[in-house]
Structure formats: structure tokens, C-alpha cells
Structure 1
Amino acid sequence: MNRKDREQIDHCCESIVSKIDLTKLLPKLLENKVYNRDDVNIPRWSKNLGAQNTVKDVLLTIKTRGPNAFKNLILSLRQSNHEDVADILEKQNNASSNTNFRQENLLDHHIYSDEFFSEPLIIEAMKDIIKEFSKRDDLNKVDSCFVIVTSHGMEDEESNTEIQGTDYHIASRQANYEKVLCTEVCDYFTAEACPQLAEKPKIFIFQLCRGKKKQNGVIHSRITTDSCAMKSTNEANIEIPRIQTIRNYSDMLIVQSTLPGYVSYRDSKTGSWFIQILCKIFMKHAHENHVQDLFNMIDAELKNLRTTNHECQTSSVQSLGFNKHCYLNPGLFMES
């Protein structure tokens, strides 16, 4: 969706929410392919179609649904007897801004395509590419680094999460198959291996299965337990040595879409649960929340999703010396 249409939705959202009957509009949005029927948001929205917060969320999420979403939103509104709302949205937004800065979302410069082309993921080549990237001299000019791997995965015999590609099969594992562990990817970016990124935020995101186990939702009552207060140490007796070195494993945040040993769910049409929610949360909140809070928000939404068999998924975030708040502030730029 282009910037003008997204700005029009943002500008009109508050004024049109109360005019929309979602019980009439949502079926048309599904019929016109604005949303797929198995979209991860549908079960949550369906619980309270009459709430204005639900209507607002449906409208704002449309901004992430590709180049034809605005046109099909207008069509859906007219087909569901919301002509007045369609007219409001189609008017040009002539309001001018008096500020020198504008906050834009992460997708402003993202190129959408109706067709997606994919290349086979060859694990042997992947290791070389990541290693080569970690050695680049120009990394000393960047403030942070994101490494994102989406693939198949499994837990090996030593309970390590193993990334699998198209060159993986049972026979080759005993012959020329060279496995790649998530920990190996992170090892390329330690302070020793990649001094250009030393003491800079490094975020690793792995969207892949980590085993074959499936997590089931559990019915429970809310039971709390008392926690005992830990005894404080006498800090006055602790002597901190003044050594001018840095830790090798530091400033790393390792994010896994699921728990060790468990599968990671992926919709055959809309993609993985975790990545869908990640894109939504980063788009909406990355301009005002730090990275760790963003991943907390992602898991808060992930916990509401279930398969038809009530299976669910829990993401995992591991901090390796990542003890400062990292803000991305995407899209903040000076107006010309």
C-alpha cells in the first residue's frame, strides 16, 4: 500500500470507526482477499466484532496487506453498505503538517510483489555467507545488527537447535551433510570474531522448528505462590577489578520463534505465526518501544493463537549481556 493511502487510513480512522459494522464488513474483506480466512488475527477479532478497538485494529492492519488492500477495502465498504465511509476514505487528505518531523512505519520503503521468488536454502553456502558478512570492515559504521534466519529446523542429538535447508536429508547426514547450529551463527558475531560490532546491539531471530513436540493449551485456575525475598549481598565488601577488557559474548539478544524441542507453526498461505506478528508489532510500535519490549509484545499476541487441535506456541528470548534498552526509531526523517 502506498504512503498516501496509509496516511488516509491513519487520518480518518478515529472518525470512521463508529460508523463501521464489522459483522457486515469483515465477510466482504475476506471475500475480496484483503484478509485470508486463515489469517492469524481472525480468531481474535471474531471474539468481539462489536468493539471499536477491534474495528480500529482491523482498519490499521489493512495497511500491511499489500498494494491492492486499499482499493479492495473501498470495494468491501461499498458492498457492505458503508458508502459514506468509503467516500470519506477516498477524499484526498489536504491537511498540512506544521511539524518538521514525521513518524513513518517500517513498511514505508518496503517493496511489495504479487509474486514471490525463492531460492533453495543450501546450508553449506549459508555458513560461508554469514561468516563473510561478519568480517566486513564497514560494519564498524553501523549502530546495530539484525541477523534473521527463517528455515526448517530440528533439535540434534545433543539438544542443540539445528538449521536445516534443502540439502538436508537422512542419507546425506551420514555422508556430506554439514549441520549448522543457531549457536554457530551467533559465534560469528562475538567481540573476538567480529570486533566491528563489539559493544553494539546484535539481535538474532530464528524462525524454525526446534523439534517435533507440539505444545497444547492447558485449562487452569489462577494460582499464585508466595516468593521469598533474596538476601542482599554486602556490596561494600565486593571489590570490582578495573580491567580494560570486554566480554566476548555480550550485547546479544537471541530470539527463537518456539521453545527447545517444539515445532514452530506456519500458515500455508500467510506465513509463520511468529513472523506475521513480528512485522505487525514492529510496524506499529518500533518508533516508541525498545527491542526487548517489542518481543514481549510479540509473545503476548502469540499466546492467543491456537491450531484447530488447540496446539499453541511460545517464543523464547535469550539475553547474552544485552543489558541496555535498544530503540530503533524507524522512519524518523527531516522533511525537505
Structure 2
Amino acid sequence: MTEEADNLDQLESLSLHPKESDCSSEVFPPAGKGVLVDLPCGHQMTSDYVVAWFKYYLKQKETEFTCPRCHEGRRKTKLSYQDICQRIPLTSKQREFLEENVAILAARRLCDFKACPGCQTYVERRDQRNLCVLYTLCTANMKRNYYFCWTCKREWKEPVTVQCANNGCGQKVEALDSLVKCKPGFKQEMLKKEGDDIYPTTDKSPGRKRLALLVNNVEFEYINDRIGAEKDEQSMERLLKALGYTVVTLTNLTAQGMTDAMQDFAQREEHFQSDSCFVVFMSHGDASGICGVSYQDKKEDMFRTDDIFKCLNTPNCAGLRDKPKIILIQSCRGGMDGSVDVPDSVPINNRRKEHREKDFCCLRSSTPDTMSYRNEKKGSDFIQDVVKIFDQHAHQDHIEELFRKVLKEFKEKHRDQMPCKERTTLSKMFYLFPGL
């Protein structure tokens, strides 16, 4: 990944236990999010929604925010960081994050600089032709000449040479695309064999406008932060982009912000040039819905999952009419453990772990009333297994078979949790045909 992408992907430091559920808890510090903001274009949004969109634009290396409700044909209003500061009372963490990343993007347009691998201070390269950079600050601290390679950002082994001697120098450090691509022959064969029972998909081209919405709530005002959720965000973004979707990632939304995000996503004009969409929610949750990040007037900040379906249904989303809409939700649905002790057939007194619910035909991370688990270093079992199954099998399996394989993975490896399919109304098979 590029240096600025690494920086933008890192959220402020958080702390949780290594094994953490996505259930809510009863701790209520003061809140300050969800305030309505008037934009110059006339639209009104909650402050958390505006900040989330600005962070999304920064991730795209843009320093100006465009109102998501200003569609084509209407003059789009752009807001700078200064405009946002005038309208929103940012927290110190928000201000620090935004200012740092705006400065990085602005500086990159003016000069050639990178972080020194020795001290992480940003350094400007004055000679554009020279890969070997002498950094005076580290030289003074180490009391010896400190050189590093501008390409691989590692200490230079032999300053007198014209070529870096570090292994792998010149290669970009990027996340490998581990998604197995579909072969054209397989697609032709399936369309010939099952054509009427397969949802139409548009071939890869500049005219295809697939969209995905990813909402990831990490920092909460009233419950524990979701450490490790950034790993899920990175994995899911990588998968969806490899599948040909433009991913809109919004973080740390209130319930109202999530409602706004769904309503605006449903109205995106790109859906008319798309063949499908993905919607991914990752947050705390309980039986009543998905948790927002705020807590105001001692009221639950809860987003109802039913609203996802309402926003994308036939009356409310004409652009996705008769097209597959795939929904993934990583959150707890209650406080119960997802497993129980049951007797084996022989001997009768021998007991083992087994799921409360299985063998039943959105994909949610857990069954009703049970918990979903997340590891602060690896991310959640649900998101990571979905990505793995899609990587390995999406080139030949339709979506419901992929979901079945996710369930099988949990049945065999994660005894305390079982994902489940809900409200599945696909009348045909939906093949992703990755790469085509």
C-alpha cells in the first residue's frame, strides 16, 4: 500500500480485550455527535455523516468534500476542511486526524517527501534523480551518516553505489489480490446451461458502475471501541474492489448517519449502470439492531436492519430493481453464547459443543440473540472467512453456495458462533464472475 493510504487507514489508538464480542455494554460517557449541519447546497446532514464522508474523500486523496446528495445535473457543492470546521464542532481527535491527513495530501502536491524509516519524520528529497538520501537528523542522533533508499524506505546498505542493495527494492508493497479469477469459458458454459436461471451481469467495462457501501463503526461514546475492525475494513475493501465494485467506506456513524447513508446510497445514479450491489455493516449490535456511535439523552443510538431492506426495495431504489442486492452484517444480536452442550450418541454421557441453530436455509454474522466475535489483531471470524471463501470459490460458485460454504466453515472451526442467511429472496443464481 502507499504511504498515505497506510496513514489514512490507521484509526486513532483504541483498546479492547484480545477476544471481543460486538455486543453493547452499559457505560455512558457524554456524547456530542449527531448534530444536524446545514450545507451550502441546502442539504442537511448529521455531523458524524459529514465527517465520515470527508474521511472517505481523504482516502481517495481528495482534500475537498462533495455533498453525496448533489446528483448529476445539479451543481455539486465542494467543502474544504476549513468549511467543515466552521459548521461542525470537531473533537480534538477528529481535528488532529483531519488536519494531519489534509496536510500530507497538500504537501505531496508541492514537494517530493516521505517518512524517514529511522525516525518517521517526513523528509523532502531535493535531488529527484538520487535514490540514496542522507538524512541529517538521524545522522546527528546516531552519530554516523544515515542513508535510506527513497524507493524501498530501508536503510541504504552501500552509500557509494548507485543502486540499492536491499532485497526486493523497487517493488511496491501492496496487498496481493488473492481472488481467483473466473475463466471466460466457465461463464459461457454456465450461461448456455443455466442462462434463464442466472441473474444478468454486465461485462467489465468503463460503462459498468458497480457500487458497494461499507459502514464500519469503530469508536463509540458509550461502549467499548471495536479494536481489530480496521482489519475487516481493509480485507472487505480489497475483496469488493477486486470484484469490480467502487467501495464507499464510511466510519463512525450514528443511527441517523447510517439511515442517511442508506438513503443516499439507494439514490445513487450509478445503480442504473450496475448489475448488483453490496452493502456491508460492521458495528456493535443487539436484538434490536445495529449500534450507532453516539448516546444522547440516555437514548439508545440504534439503527434497524429492516431499514437496509426498505431503502433498497423496489419502490425506493429504481436503479437496483430486479438486480441482486447482497447484504453482510457483522454485529452481535444478543448476549447468548452461540453453542450448547449436547450428548453424543455413544456413549450417552459424553458431551460436545454444537450450534444452537444449523441446517437452515443479507448474510448475518450470528443467529438471533447470540454474539459475534472479533479479534483485535486479526479482525472478526465472519468477515475474514467471507473474504477467504469468496477469494477461493467466487470464480465458480453462485452467491448462495458461497454463503453455504461460510456456514460450513463456522460449523467446523468456530463452535461458539453460527452465521445465518435471512430474508433471502433471490429467484435466480447470482454469479460474480470475478475478473470478467
Structure with the higher fraction of residues in strand conformation: 2
TM-score, normalised to structure 2's length? 0.39
TM-score, normalised to structure 1's length? 0.50
